A = this chain, B = another copy of it.
Amino acid sequence: MTADTAPRMTPAARRVLDTASELFYHRGINAVGVDLIAETSGVTKKTIYDRFGSKDHLVMAYLRERDGRWRALVEHHIGAAGPGEAVPAVFDALKEWTAASGDRGCALINARAEITGPNHPVRTLAAEEKQWLLGRFTGLLRAEGAADPDADAVELLLLHEGAVVMNDVGQVTGAIDRARLAARRLVDRA
């Protein structure tokens, strides 16, 4: 399944995508030019365009790969969670994720803020990811016999997205912990 999201990538392409991911996430997509990516990854621009076609394709490759890693991490935490602990485990995944990523919030939301084209694939990907998490919450709640899994899943998603934002903006200590606590209380009630 790793080979599926990263299909036979040449060493140079791999290096380009890695450095581009780092640069895009921390400095913003529009603020990072192709020349900088080339120079940082020790590759000529030609190689970038040969492998990825355009900056836009490179951006989407970055977002898709990152999204894939995030989903895998969530699934891993859910799978390792004891009975009745699956929902809080999602927030554990988030805590681990943000600790590793640095505090710049959700890459998809940030990309959406930068790329405003109404038909750009980044919009589809962002909507898809949130829909996936919503569906995941719904399933977990249903499995635990919640009375109204759909409505409660939305509330969990709100807590989750709020935690991502506030963990970024800061000033609020332990936003993710607090969200996890609220999520657990919601599960217990449902």
Interface on A for B, CB 8 Å cutoff?
26-28, 30-31, 104-105, 109-110, 112-116, 126-127, 130-131, 134, 151, 154-155, 157-163, 165-166, 168-172, 175, 178-179, 182
Within the oligomer, what is the number of copies of this chain?
2
Given contacts A112-B169, A155-B159, A158-B179, 9 further A-B contacts (CB under 8 A): A127-B169, A127-B170, A134-B171, A134-B172, A155-B182, A157-B162, A161-B161, A161-B165, A162-B162
Q: How many whole Å from A38's CB to the nearest CB in chain B?
A: 20
Tell me the complex Cα distance, A179–B155, Å: 7
Chain B residues with CB under 8 Å of A127's CB are 169-171
Is B158 touching A163 in the complex (CB atoms < 8 A)? yes
A166 surroundings in chain B (CB, below 8 A):
130, 154, 157-158, 161
